[in-house]
Amino acid sequence: MAARYGVMLVNLGTPAAPTAKAVREYLAEFLGDPRVIDAPRWLWWPILHGVILRIRPPKVAKAYASVWQEEGSPLLAIGRRQQRALAAALAERTGEAVPVELAMTYGQPSMEQAGLALRDAGVDKILVLPLYPQFSRTTTGAVFQRLAKALAPCPHLPELRFVNHYHDHPDYIAALAASVREHWEAQGDRGRLLMSYHGIPKRYVDNGDPYGRHCQRTSELLAQALELEEGSWFQSYQSRFGREEWLKPYTDETLKQWGADKTECVDVISPAFAADCLETLEEIDAENREYFQEAGGGRYRYIPALNDRPEHIHLLSQLVAENTAGW
């Protein structure tokens, strides 16, 4: 008996290996997407192919090598664990096997591969679940556009449903809060909490992208769940690229200032990331730690992404249940 529906989990993507060649191929696809960089092609293409893809790959490959695991990149390894855990949770919840496939917007496994696997499982209804709690044109929007491109050649389209965001879902907030409480209990004390989100150009938000207000709402709800007093938590944005203004305040500048202010202890969480990856493990847990401590700060503690925590898998299974009602 064919499954009633299948689930396509989608995350950003990863190079196939921590090498300059693999990173160059990945960055060419990622930074070549107009949903990510919307500059005119005649202006952006010479910069991308003539400068960035010549200079950045060796440096980025070295950063990937510092976090690479036996199973591959952290994003892919954790994504596979999430895939297996969600399939098990859905089987327990529904009493039947629900196919779950992992896809990346850029790189492998591709949406085409995931779609074919779901078709081979007899699925003609697919729930697309981008692993981005907060909507942005650069992430969730890019998933939708990439999916449309993947499906364009198909002679028969599956019935589709698409999760737009879950930035304020009660189970998402509860999962974040549980991870922070567990961290504080293990450490024996509480540091000043910094909620660091991946940044996007401010211009995108000015033009209607809801990402900034989604992040702000997540932060407010998490602070409420943790019963935090004003001044004990702060929100910032990381991973900016290029020279134009991005959403502020910037994470690196914030931590440098906190270090200069002799902040004794800081705990950093990145709520926009469903899985630990280069931007959390190398940028937040390593690079920004140096900024903070070299400026004079004290203890610096990173709270891991939700990854395959039971509370996170419960959230994902709840999102599936809510968005497949009637199938």
Average pLDDT on 233-243 reads: 94
Query: Is 140 part of any domain?
Result: no
Kindly state whether residue 16 falls inside one of the protein's structural domains. no
Q: 129, 320 in Cβ contact below 8 A?
A: yes
Question: Does 211 map to a domain?
Answer: yes
User: Any bridge partners for residue 159, and if so which?
Assistant: 125
Euclidean distance between CA atoms 226 and 85, whole angstroms: 27
Domain assignment present for residue 193? The answer is yes
Of 174, 177, 165, 179, nearest to 226 (Cα)? Answer: 177
Over residues 70-95, mean pLDDT: 96
CATH number, domain of 223, equals 3.40.50.1400
Q: What is the pLDDT of residue 64?
A: 97
At residue 1, the pLDDT reads: 56
Q: Does the annotation flag 229 for ligand binding?
A: no
Tens of pLDDT, residues 57-68: 999 999 999 999
Number of structural domains in the chain: 1
Domain with 177 in it: 170-303
Neighbours of 293 (CB within 10 A): 15
Residue 296 lies in a domain: yes
The mean pLDDT value of the chain amounts to: 96
Q: Is 311 annotated as a binding residue?
A: no
The reply to whether 215 falls in a domain is: yes
Q: Which residues pair with 11 in a beta bridge?
A: 104
Separation CA 249–CA 199 (nearest Å): 10
Considering the domain boundaries, does residue 230 fall inside one? yes
pLDDT-derived band of residue 155, with 50, 70 and 90 as boundaries?
Answer: confident
Residue 200, number of CB atoms within 10 A of its CB: 24
Distances in whole angstroms, Cα of residue 119 to Cα of each of 6, 56, 159, 163:
9, 38, 12, 20
Residues 6+ apart with CB under 8 A from 113: 101, 103
User: Is residue 27 in a domain?
Assistant: no
Q: In the chain, what percentage of residues exceed pLDDT 70?
A: 99
